[in-house]
Structure 1
Amino acid sequence: MTGRRQKRERAMGFELVFVLTCFWACNPIHVHANTNTKDVSSLNVLYTYLNSPTQLTGWTANGGDPCGQSWLGITCSGSSVTAIKLSGKGLNGNLGYNMADMTSLVELDLSNNNLGSGGNQIPYGLPPNLTRINLAQNQFTGGIPYSFSQMTALSYINLGHNQFSNSLNDIFFNLSNLTFLDLSFNTFTGNLPNSFSSLIDLATLHLQNNQFSGTIDVLANLPLKDLNIENNHFTGWIPAQLQKINPVVGGNSFTSGPAPPPPPYTAPPPPPPGGRKPTPSINTPVKKSGLNGGAVAGIVLSFLALGAVIAGVIIIFIRRKLSKISKNQGTDEPLTRLASNEYGGSELKSFKIEAPKSSLSTSVSLKPPVKIDLYKSFDEKDLTMKPILKKISFSSIRATVYSVADLQVATDMFSPDNLLGEGSFGRSFKAQFDGGKLLAVKKISRSALPNQSSDDFAELVSNISLLHHANLTELTGYCNEHGQRLLVYEFCKNGSLHDFIYYPEEHGKSLSWNNRVKIALGSARALEYLHETCSPSVLHKNFKSSNILLDGDLNPHLSDSGFADLIANPDSQAAEASSGYNAPEVVMSGQYNLKSDVFSFGVVMLELLTGRKPFDSSRPRSEQSLVRWATPQLHDIDALDHMVDPGLKGLYPAKSLSRFADVIALCVQSEPEFRPPMSEVVQALVILVQRANMTKRVLNADGPDTESHNFV
């Protein structure tokens, strides 16, 4: 009995434990959610970049459990964060660099705050599976990151009331689920991108109060129900399909009157001379005359018969004349033949009169003659299609004018001791002026300006003088005297990046990893300015490490900007290929574009990473081309360690190195359309710098007993 009672009590104990376990498991008050570690890390970084605001209750910069502890504005599903809703919380700062790790996040609402203040842009990496993003009523600058093109689930985008200023890139091709897009009250510029036509579900589009230009034809076939495009610079016609939805279009320069039919569009034929009306078509009613149908038919047949007789007489006449010419020239070969069934037709073929005693030949064709403008001068060069260029006077250029004598004194008669370097357009010399001021004087070679025209030089100086950016060499003056063409620039103490990489002994040290990332970022910002801020965009066409000059703090300054018009298309593909900087499309066809500069930038990044020259004939054949050798290894961590410049002596962080290599891989892709715009490159490099700054803050708080805070 005792044994049976013990078994019964033991069974009841198990049942009680089971019931209590179920109760505790089902009671949400006692559930301890273990939030996804990547989500926790991303929110920790976001909190830091928002300057650790106290109003975000529950949030912390290290660890925590957002789902279990109910952080303000956080919604979860299980252990994953699915929504962040922090509208109107008085937040400032910027978004974190690793939000792309939040793969379960579908909604991000940070509207009506003060984010982006201080010139910050939307970071490149955002949660990839977002369906809704609302960043309206903030202070973000720049443009929309290219990473938006990969967020294919997006149905709602609101970026209105910010400070965006760039043109829109073609990032909408994959956003077919988008139903709402608001970009209003910014300063976006340029034409609407062609990828807008892929927004097949778009119902609401707000673009008002920007600086868009061009036509809105790309919107014609979208299923829009709400369209506001007022206060822009749009031109052309409003498509008929859009007029049906009563769009808000005021403050533009649209053409009044009915819009032309959609393409393909063929203009009606011009009226015949004399102001006579064209012949009516078969569907056009003809005004009755005194002639009946039989009479009209008889007249038509008579004209046709008469025409046939005249044509026959002309043909016989021509054949007799040509036969006489043939006999006179001593040849029995007929010079024309009537096309028969042998030639598949019945029309008179072209013929050629051969003159044995002369090198001239005359070609005769029965095609309609080309209309000749009797008032046009018959010059060898047809200038009708060339734009009329306005001459630029030196008096309109805001830059200091130097005399040849002044520059000769400052450079010690252009002494070889003051030679800084020799580039594609001439030699540069160090110039020291009164008071110890140092400048650089570029002496433009005659081959760079073959015409040696003052007008050409004035245009060059004018174009360069308009370029102002912290990472461009600043033009301070020029000299146009006694046939000399000289440009005066700011002086960069540490010379070119090329020399610093390959001859570090001259500087007593090699570049640290931090400095390499800083140089890459500054150079990227220079190209971003030329490509996306200047209007029209400015091609560099000569981007290489020898054209990146370093000041005393190792900040980069891109030189030779504004010289693109002086760079001829490459004559020798082999010679251009051997330089290692030019993109495949330049090597193959000599055609440059903005993405060609991006490729060259990627090559310079490879130089910073590896310490190798873009093309080095002294290496084994498989390693001579830096891009071909390095590209297959850029995503291999182990291979990267062997590629790194030995001058770094292993002092670099592996994660930063990997991200740096990822940017390079994007830039040096063989297809131009797959290379990112420079604004995206800048974003990616900014993330590396931001990581470094955050690491410094954390390490300084723990104690500066390590050198790792120098890493990015």
Structure 2
Amino acid sequence: MHMGVAALAVSVLLLVSLNSIRSITDPDEVDALGLLYSSLNSPPQLSGWKSIGGDPCGESWKGVSCFGSAVTSIEVAGLGLNGTLGYLLSNLLYLKTMDMSNNYIHEPVPYQLPPNLTYLNLANNNLNGNLPYSISSMTSLIYLNFSHNSLSQPIGDLFANLQNLSDLDVSFNNLSGDLPNSIGLLTNLSRLYLQNNQLTGSVNILSNLDFDTLNIANNHFTGWIPQEFFSIPNLVVGGNVFENGPAPPPPPYTPPPPRKPHKHHNQNEAPTNAPIGDDGQESNKESSSSKKRLTAGPIVGIIIAGSVVVALFAILATLFCLHKYTKKRNKNQNKLAFPLGSPSTGVNKGEWHQFSDYISSHAPTEWSSLTREPPLSSYGQSRSGVKDIHEHKLKSSQSATQLKSPSSEKIDKTSGKVGSARGPRIPITAAYYSVAALQTATNSFGQESLIGEGSLGRVYRAEFSDGKILAVKKLDSSALPLEDEEDFLDVVSKMSRLRHPNITTLLGYCAEHGQHLLVYEYIANGALHDLLHFPNESRTLSWNARVKVALGTARALEYLHEVCLPLIVHKSLKSANILLDEDLNPHLSDCGLAALTRNNERQISTEMVPSFGYSAPESAMSGIYTVKSDVYSFGVVMLELLTGRKPLDSSRTRTEQSLVRWATPQLHDIDALAKMVDPALKGIYPAKSLSRFADIIALCVQPEPEFRPPMSEVVQALIRLMQRTSLIRRTSADETGLSSRILEDEATSDVFL
């Protein structure tokens, strides 16, 4: 009896213990929620929450739901929360629902969000910046809402993997630029809200999606409204600059069938108004029923002209014609030697599709609206001398290859020779500028307009008649050995698709009279190199501004290395290629230009590379550059930010001329590190932040490339550094006095000392 009672008591205790163990929340998730609570300034509305420790799943934390020991839902909408979202949200691996809408949350959206969310609602807050690229890997997302915030910049190509997404709302922001290609891949998207932004370009990319609701009102969209839109139950398109009426269907008119294919079979067979199906009228591949249909015209004529008696002769005539046609078909097939192996594809079909491609290229589609037509002199002439404006539009919007030598001008237009060797290029979203327009804007590329010079050419300030100020990079033809116009246009096409707030935006290009120019946004504060090495009393970068520059540049490299497909190696990372805007946000320039030297190994090793002092050891020896080479160069830039010294400085003593060689042994010595800091900072910096900054540098400039971290890890380390500094400032402001100014986070305007 007693033994039974004892066993029962032990069992109860064991069950209670197991239940309590299950209720203990994962420590990483506790840290994430604790940091979120602190970043929101520890609001009393979140009852039960703690900055450090606690058990969200075992205790009653307002708005938090769990399954076992995993946090699965955070729903704290409309509580008047004010602050930021912290930097540990990616620790919430099991979180499915996150609703923090209708609050006062500010700052940019965290770079890393919970990776397995299905529902994310951050609407009606004060978030700024852009949509984070981590969204691209959140493959479980079904609902995404960032409406009524202050998001800006173009929308990145984030959606290729979000095949479950059904609701997307980014309305009432300041998003700009064209719609990304990947948004057209959202096959399950049923509700899309883009209204009240600054979006531009065509909306054709949305025409194949099956919407229940589409609102694109009050933007700057152009072109035609696709006909498919008019079947959407809830459609709002007002407040744009669309052309009147729906878009004409592709092709925009019904052309007669191309005549050339009829030369391969009986030209008296099909009437000119015969319908053309997907088979392209491949009469030499038709079935016997098709052959009978080919003689329908003669039979009808005989019936109308003759009588019932004549019908018998008509049948005999039909059999005779079929027999004769069969012989002629076999004869024609023997004459034609096609390289195509498939019996279902012949020259007729190919030529018809190529003709259709040509016709489609002249329709008011997305490509033609994205690309301004260049003047006739901007491209080389074809061998056949075809120079009409349609030819040039086809070349710019498809693949811009020069025409091969066809037998006639007619074949030239319909055979699809243009770009057939390489396939259609991704459309160039940058505008086309003539040399004359750029000469006028730069005062004939005068010395007074020169604002920079590098190994690839000179950069000029361009002021246009409408008051717009841009930067024009005039490429040195001797530094870029282009094989043909194709190389330049391919690179421009890829560069024009780069979308990141920390990468200079390519706005235009010019390829005319043998000259190659690139038109970029104008960045007001110039290069980081000048601010570091030619400072004045009013333009010395504070410590927080330097960390901000490092983080922004790291994010740009992470985008090039880990988001772009195929990945992009910069190969010329240096402080002179990091431009700073009025808020000291960094913009990495020359991204993608290294591709222009891909066909010349010697040129790669001597021209499109970082200046001496930035090159990784393995790259300096072999001329081969990888993403790890960029990481090394980034570490050198961080050393510049830390010390204010140039990577190579012959004016210093021999042991201090190489920045990396001199600084690396001292990065983990606290006393030596304090002596290395840029004297321009005047000792105003947080010691812990300085030490962590040095730790990141040490990892990046390791001589063995395999030991250098990927840029995503560098980004996370810099984010933690900034967030910890921000937390220290908030929790110790009453005690630190002057240090509260020193520890200001990157969002403040106090970026100069």
Give the TM-score normalised by structure 1.
Answer: 0.53
Matched, 1:90 2:49: no
Write the distance in 2 (CA, Å) between the matches of 1:56 and 1:518.
Answer: 31
The equivalent position to 2:56 in structure 1, one of 53, 66, 72, is: 66
Shift of 1:99: 1.0
Write the distance in 2 (CA, Å) between the matches of 1:574 and 1:111.
Answer: 55
The equivalent position to 1:691 in structure 2, one of 718, 721, 724, is: 724
User: Which letter does structure 1 place at the counterpart of 2:88?
Assistant: N
Shift of 1:649: 3.1
Write the distance in 1 (CA, Å) between the matches of 2:579 and 2:183.
Answer: 42
Write the distance in 2 (CA, Å) between the matches of 1:207 and 1:60.
Answer: 38
Write the distance in 1 (CA, Å) between the matches of 2:295 and 2:228.
Answer: 27
1:71-150 matches, within 5 Å, as 71-116=61-106, 120-150=107-137
Superposed CA deviations along residues 628-659 of structure 1, whole A, max 9, x for unmatched, are: xxxxxxxxxxxxxx999324135589987898
User: Is this contact kept in 2: 1:495–1:549, CA < 8 A?
Assistant: no
2:573 corresponds in structure 1 to 544
Superposed CA deviations along residues 52-96 of structure 1, whole A, max 9, x for unmatched, are: 223322333222333344222222333332211111111222211
User: Is this contact kept in 2: 1:235–1:255, CA < 8 A?
Assistant: no
Secondary structure, aligned partner of 1:82: strand
User: Is this contact kept in 2: 1:214–1:236, CA < 8 A?
Assistant: no
- Matched residues, number: 515
The equivalent position to 1:389 in structure 2, one of 434, 437, 451, is: 434
User: Is this contact kept in 1: 2:639–2:697, CA < 8 A?
Assistant: no
User: Which letter does structure 2 place at the counterpart of 1:690?
Assistant: Q
The equivalent position to 2:176 in structure 1, one of 184, 189, 192, is: 189
1:627 corresponds in structure 2 to none
Matched, 1:645 2:664: yes
2:24 corresponds in structure 1 to 34
C-alpha change, 1:107 and 1:644, in structure 2 (3 Å) is farther
Superposed CA deviations along residues 242-285 of structure 1, whole A, max 9, x for unmatched, are: 6153533333426635752699x99543799xxxx936565898
1:576 corresponds in structure 2 to 604
User: Is this contact kept in 2: 1:271–1:278, CA < 8 A?
Assistant: no
Secondary structure, aligned partner of 2:33: helix
User: Is this contact kept in 1: 2:226–2:246, CA < 8 A?
Assistant: no
1:428-447 matches, within 5 Å, as none
2:158 corresponds in structure 1 to 171
User: Which letter does structure 2 place at the counterpart of 1:55?
Assistant: Q
Shift of 1:154: 1.7
Secondary structure, aligned partner of 1:205: strand
C-alpha change, 1:395 and 1:209, in structure 2 (3 Å) is same
The equivalent position to 1:520 in structure 2, one of 550, 560, 575, is: 550
C-alpha change, 1:675 and 1:251, in structure 2 (3 Å) is farther
Shift of 1:231: 3.0
2:237 corresponds in structure 1 to 249
Write the distance in 2 (CA, Å) between the matches of 1:174 and 1:245.
Answer: 27
Write the distance in 1 (CA, Å) between the matches of 2:444 and 2:722.
Answer: 35
Shift of 1:194: 3.5
Shift of 1:396: 5.7
Shift of 1:12: 9.4
User: Is this contact kept in 2: 1:547–1:558, CA < 8 A?
Assistant: no
- What is the alpha-carbon root mean square deviation over aligned residues? 6.8
User: Is this contact kept in 1: 2:572–2:608, CA < 8 A?
Assistant: no
Write the distance in 2 (CA, Å) between the matches of 1:57 and 1:87.
Answer: 14
User: Which letter does structure 2 place at the counterpart of 1:38?
Assistant: D
User: Is this contact kept in 1: 2:664–2:698, CA < 8 A?
Assistant: no
Write the distance in 1 (CA, Å) between the matches of 2:184 and 2:438.
Answer: 45
C-alpha change, 1:187 and 1:297, in structure 2 (3 Å) is farther
C-alpha change, 1:270 and 1:246, in structure 2 (3 Å) is farther
Shift of 1:238: 2.5
Write the distance in 2 (CA, Å) between the matches of 1:491 and 1:473.
Answer: 6
Matched, 1:161 2:216: no
Superposed CA deviations along residues 554-576 of structure 1, whole A, max 9, x for unmatched, are: x89779x6899999646631341
Secondary structure, aligned partner of 2:192: strand
Shift of 1:603: 4.7
Write the distance in 2 (CA, Å) between the matches of 1:105 and 1:214.
Answer: 36
The equivalent position to 2:196 in structure 1, one of 188, 209, 222, is: 209
Write the distance in 2 (CA, Å) between the matches of 1:556 and 1:227.
Answer: 34
Write the distance in 2 (CA, Å) between the matches of 1:427 and 1:172.
Answer: 37
Write the distance in 2 (CA, Å) between the matches of 1:568 and 1:448.
Answer: 10
Q: Bigger shift: 159-168 or 102-111?
A: 159-168
1:168-567 matches, within 5 Å, as 168-232=155-219, 233=221, 235-240=223-228, 243=231, 245-252=233-240, 253=242, 256-257=245-246, 260=249, 268-269=256-257, 278=272, 280=274, 290=305, 345=334, 385=392, 389=434, 391-392=436-437, 423-424=454-455, 467-470=522-525, 472-473=526-527, 492=531, 494=533, 517-521=547-551, 523=553, 543-545=572-574, 547=576
C-alpha change, 1:58 and 1:236, in structure 2 (3 Å) is same
User: Which letter does structure 2 place at the counterpart of 1:59?
Assistant: W
User: Which letter does structure 1 place at the counterpart of 2:143?
Assistant: Y
C-alpha change, 1:607 and 1:268, in structure 2 (3 Å) is farther
User: Is this contact kept in 1: 2:569–2:630, CA < 8 A?
Assistant: no
User: Is this contact kept in 1: 2:553–2:578, CA < 8 A?
Assistant: no
Shift of 1:109: 0.5
C-alpha change, 1:575 and 1:447, in structure 2 (3 Å) is closer
Give the TM-score normalised by structure 2.
Answer: 0.51
If you compute each CA radius of gyration, which structure gives the higher value, 1 or 2? 1
Write the distance in 1 (CA, Å) between the matches of 2:438 and 2:452.
Answer: 30
User: Which letter does structure 1 place at the counterpart of 2:455?
Assistant: S
Secondary structure, aligned partner of 1:177: coil
Shift of 1:45: 1.0
Write the distance in 1 (CA, Å) between the matches of 2:458 and 2:178.
Answer: 41
Shift of 1:107: 1.0
Matched, 1:50 2:48: no
User: Which letter does structure 2 place at the counterpart of 1:256?
Assistant: G
* Gap regions ≥5 residues in structure 2: 261-270, 276-292, 338-350, 352-375, 397-431, 460-472, 482-510, 536-540, 561-567, 611-624, 641-646, 649-660, 671-687, 747-753
Write the distance in 2 (CA, Å) between the matches of 1:71 and 1:574.
Answer: 63
C-alpha change, 1:284 and 1:70, in structure 2 (3 Å) is farther
1:620 corresponds in structure 2 to none
User: Is this contact kept in 1: 2:190–2:210, CA < 8 A?
Assistant: yes
Shift of 1:106: 1.4
User: Is this contact kept in 2: 1:136–1:161, CA < 8 A?
Assistant: yes
Shift of 1:149: 2.1
2:633 corresponds in structure 1 to 604
C-alpha change, 1:237 and 1:493, in structure 2 (3 Å) is closer
Shift of 1:158: 1.3
User: Is this contact kept in 1: 2:475–2:517, CA < 8 A?
Assistant: no
Write the distance in 2 (CA, Å) between the matches of 1:207 and 1:556.
Answer: 27
Secondary structure, aligned partner of 2:120: strand
Secondary structure, aligned partner of 1:45: helix
Write the distance in 2 (CA, Å) between the matches of 1:248 and 1:177.
Answer: 24
1:670-685 matches, within 5 Å, as 685=718
User: Which letter does structure 1 place at the counterpart of 2:245?
Assistant: S
Aligned-pair identity in percent equals 33
